Structure 1
Amino acid sequence: MQTLEKLSERFWYQTPVSETDRPILGAVVGDNMTLMIDAGNSENHAKYFLKELSKNGIRKPGLAVITHWHWDHIFGMSALDFPSIAFSQTKAKMKELKPFSWDDAALDERVKQGIEIEFCATAIKKEFQEHRKINIKLPTITFDEKIDIDLGGVTCIVQHVGGDHTADSSIVYIKEEKILFLADCIYANMYAPQNNYTVSNTLKLLDVIDTFDAETYILSHWKPVSKSEYSQEAKTLRSVANLTEKFKGEKQAITEAYREWIGRELNGNEIETIQFFVNGYELYQ
């Protein structure tokens, strides 16, 4: 069950849904305008979010920011009657989707060809059970590195950061609230033969994120997390990245060194993270 949650006077978010891969949608409430972060995975998703904002007395958004091109963040754009903004490469990647058909047969064929992944195809089928009329609406405005948006009383810095999940990832820093909307940027690359992280992309991304003075971090398919929670996740990523480089992708050596460093047995997330870095090392070295 999705709910609209108030994190601060200036920021509201709608909780995600794992089954149909609905990510968190955000609303930054300024004195002059409300900014919507991401457009949702369907028109129904976007409309539901806007309806919940209205029910809570929040001014309708006047602008949407799109964090990256993946379907679950953009398929709701056709339901929006206000402008949107995205990194220039995000718009270019979205253009590539426009010729696609989205019926089951077309999705299955793209999965077979390696263009689409099974997880996303399954989620699309679940989200669009009644009809599959999907219109890829492109962003109205693009930027090349970063852009500041003054909403009145609150400023949003939208910055391209890249990363393994997708090279076009952008984040949104809500300056006065010290909230950093990371979207999917610290997640692994799923559009590959194996889910993976790479050492160079991960370390570069973490360094950029560290330049923001944030107290709360928003992970699109999980929840808002505190600085200490994010720092622990970043510490794991950075440590495994460095060990992957040191041991040249040798899984057993990485695992043993990491276990010795933390002084306990590894949890599921740490085991998966190591495997993803090993995958990346094997794929790209």
Structure 2
Amino acid sequence: MLNKLSNTIYYLSNQDDKDRPTLGLVCGDQYSLVIDSGNSTQHAKDFLQEIEKLNVPPVKYVVLTHAHWDHFLGMNEFDATVIVNSQTNEMIKEWRSYSYDDRSLQNYVDNNQMSAMCMKIIQTDMPNRNSFKMKSPDVIFDNTLTIDLGNKICILERIKSTHTNDSTIIYIPDENVVFLGDSAYGTTTNSLFHYKQSLLLPMIKDIQKHDAEMFLLGHESICDRNEMNIYWKELTAASQVVKSTSLENALELFKVDNNRDPNDNEFFFIKAFVNDHIIQSQ
């Protein structure tokens, strides 16, 4: 079931148990635009079935927020123009070369080209995949692209991100809504979860320059401005005290700076920034 954010914006909530991220729908007077195509052909079909229940203009565009499999493997199901930034396009090329039979999938997992969860989702939710091939994106942009759906403007922008190097956000100015994809999250490198500390403040600046009241995220669905401000505040406070690979030193500095121990979120973020220093030192 689609959630209605406004008369022109809908979203399908994330399902963590199935590794399904939030999918978005923005509707203008003439056309509709989809944000992310889902983690499988079945995810995309489920989304399209819900869209068909609405009296909205036809889907003309699909925008991919980044090149992680759970956000683009449903792409072939959409009879629409697929839009990506140039870095996302380069990263998807590898997946276009893949074969999707069981033997090939297991080989990709064994060679760390694909996660075991990804293989499981493909095997469960992508039937007739022995001959499956990812199609190519249709429109590739570098930094920004503006799309008019008919009295409904969508601004696509590639931003700096602590999650990936190819993050695109979608801002709908007349609604004060922004789709962030996974851009505000951390990432995992060498089995360590971390936030890219050097990109935290540039990312926040890129996002906050848009006057958004509501934020759609890949794996939380929706947050209001107050919730996002708390998130930014806790992330920033954690980052400011991490100056080395020492968790103990960071925790002590946090206590000195804030006259209290970190809360659970702040502790998690501090550890992630310490991990970032560990990764940078390797």
Q: Does TM, normalized by the shorter one, top 0.5?
A: yes
Quote the residue 2:244 is aligned against.
248
Match of 2:263 among 234, 258, 266: 266
TM-score (norm 2): 0.91
> Unaligned stretches of 5+ in structure 2?
none
Aligned counterparts of 1:173 and 1:29: Cα–Cα separation in 2: 13
Quote the residue 1:19 is aligned against.
17
Quote the residue 2:32 is aligned against.
34
Map residues 120-269 of structure 1 onto 2, 5 A cutoff. Answer: 120-128=118-126, 130=127, 132-133=129-130, 134-244=132-242, 247-259=243-255, 261=258, 263-264=260-261, 266-267=263-264, 269=265
Q: Residues 221 and 101 from structure 1, CA distance in 2 versus in 1: closer, same or farther, beyond 3 angstroms?
A: same
Map residues 80-119 of structure 1 onto 2, 5 A cutoff. Answer: 80-119=78-117
Q: Residues 119 and 34 from structure 1, CA distance in 2 versus in 1: closer, same or farther, beyond 3 angstroms?
A: same
Displacement of 1:122 in angstroms is 4.5
Displacement of 1:241 in angstroms is 1.8
> Unaligned stretches of 5+ in structure 1?
none
Displacement of 1:228 in angstroms is 0.5
Aligned counterparts of 1:106 and 1:271: Cα–Cα separation in 2: 40
Matched to 1:272, the amino acid is: F
Asked if 1 retains the 8 angstrom alpha-carbon contact of 2:162 and 2:197, the reply is no
Aligned counterparts of 2:162 and 2:120: Cα–Cα separation in 1: 22
Match of 2:279 among 261, 275, 283: 283
Asked if 1 retains the 8 angstrom alpha-carbon contact of 2:189 and 2:279, the reply is no
Quote the residue 2:50 is aligned against.
52
Aligned counterparts of 2:147 and 2:172: Cα–Cα separation in 1: 10
Q: Percent identity at matched positions?
A: 33
Deviations, residues 115-164 of structure 1 (Å, cap 9, x unaligned): 33344444444544x55444312210010000111112221110001323
Displacement of 1:112 in angstroms is 3.7
Identify which range, 87-96 or 235-244, moves more after superposition: 235-244
RMSD of aligned C-alpha atoms? 2.0
Deviations, residues 191-247 of structure 1 (Å, cap 9, x unaligned): 543221121112211111111110001111112100000111111222222222xx3
Aligned counterparts of 1:173 and 1:145: Cα–Cα separation in 2: 14
TM-score (norm 1): 0.90
Identify which range, 253-262 or 75-84, moves more after superposition: 253-262
Identify which range, 138-147 or 100-109, moves more after superposition: 100-109
Aligned counterparts of 1:276 and 1:125: Cα–Cα separation in 2: 32
Aligned counterparts of 1:281 and 1:31: Cα–Cα separation in 2: 49
Aligned counterparts of 1:87 and 1:282: Cα–Cα separation in 2: 30
Q: Residues 241 and 119 from structure 1, CA distance in 2 versus in 1: closer, same or farther, beyond 3 angstroms?
A: farther
Asked if 2 retains the 8 angstrom alpha-carbon contact of 1:20 and 1:124, the reply is no
Identify which range, 256-265 or 78-87, moves more after superposition: 256-265
Asked if 2 retains the 8 angstrom alpha-carbon contact of 1:83 and 1:140, the reply is yes
Aligned counterparts of 1:203 and 1:111: Cα–Cα separation in 2: 34
Aligned counterparts of 2:270 and 2:187: Cα–Cα separation in 1: 14
